[in-house]
Amino acid sequence: MENIKLSSRIYRHLYNATANPTPIRKNCGELCGRACCRPAPRGELGIYLFPGEETMFSRRENWLTWEEHDPVEHGFPVSWNEPVYFVRCSGSCPREMRPLACRFFPLAPHLNRDGSLRLIYETLDLPYRCPLITSGTPLEPRFINMVETAWEILLRDRRIGDLVREDSRLREENGLPVQVVSRA
Ligand code: SF4
Ligand code: SF4
């Protein structure tokens, strides 16, 4: 399998390519009061950046706080180097700067045992309910295609492939729903 280290040039391309598509035509935040953007009461919610994605930020953004995590202590594959960047936002951000993980939600990548990629509704145990997941809402094809193309690029980095593969096996072992996304 191909292995590249994702450069800041590739991240700039990904940020441009993922800037506009949204899961549904209307603003889905109106369905739930922007549940996935609300900071958790004890600050327990946050986002892991992909390796190299930190180059998109100056670390002086007043809407983000940063932590550096040890990949071993936080369950990342052995291929991941220290540190892994974990960020918490204030609950609002310049839209063009939101991290990739925010742009992909509520979709998650699942790698089948034959190595093929399947997009599914996120199966993480979250402290809020996303109505797009709970109702299996058909999503905009443009959004699904955008997420799929972005993951095809991200998976060319072996560290990200290792993570998604390990998460996929864990998901199957735990019997979580590997629900294929339906298109609007
Ligand atoms: S929780 Fe789901 S429906 Fe609500 S804003 Fe986030 S993605 Fe949209
Ligand atoms: S960074 Fe922006 S899009 Fe992501 S959770 Fe925070 S407010 Fe929402």
Confidence class of residue 42 from pLDDT cuts 50, 70 and 90?
confident
Over residues 107-155, the pLDDT tens digits come to: 999 999 999 999 999 999 998 999 999 998 999 999 999 999 999 999 9
The proportion of the chain whose per-residue pLDDT surpasses 90, expressed as a percent, equals 88
pLDDT score recorded for residue 182: 80
* 38 alpha carbon, closest ligand: 2
pLDDT on residue 167 = 97
| Burial of residue 14, with CB atoms counted within 10 A of its CB: 0-12 exposed, 13-18 middle, 19 or more buried | buried
Average pLDDT, the chain: 94
Ligand nearest to the CA of 124: 1
pLDDT over threshold 80, residue 44: no
**pLDDT higher than 80, residue 74:** yes
What per-residue confidence (pLDDT) applies to 130?
Answer: 96
pTM for this predicted structure: 0.95
pLDDT band at 41; cut points 50, 70, 90: confident
Give the residue-averaged pLDDT of 60-83. Answer: 96
**Which atom of ligand 2 approaches the CA of 36 most closely?**
5
Ligand 1 atom nearest to 106, measured from its CA: 7
**Residue type at 101?**
A
Span from the CA of 171 to the centroid of ligand 2 (angstroms):
25
Domain borders along the chain are 8-172
DSSP secondary structure, 117-157, as one string: EEEEE-----SS--HHHHTT--B-HHHHHHHHHHHHHHTTS
| Chain segment 165-174, per-residue pLDDT in tens | 999 999 999 9
Residue 1 confidence (pLDDT)? 61
> In the predicted model, is pLDDT for residue 104 greater than 90?
yes
Q: Which of 28, 34, 135 to mutate to test the pocket of ligand 1 (most atoms within 8 A of CB)?
A: 28
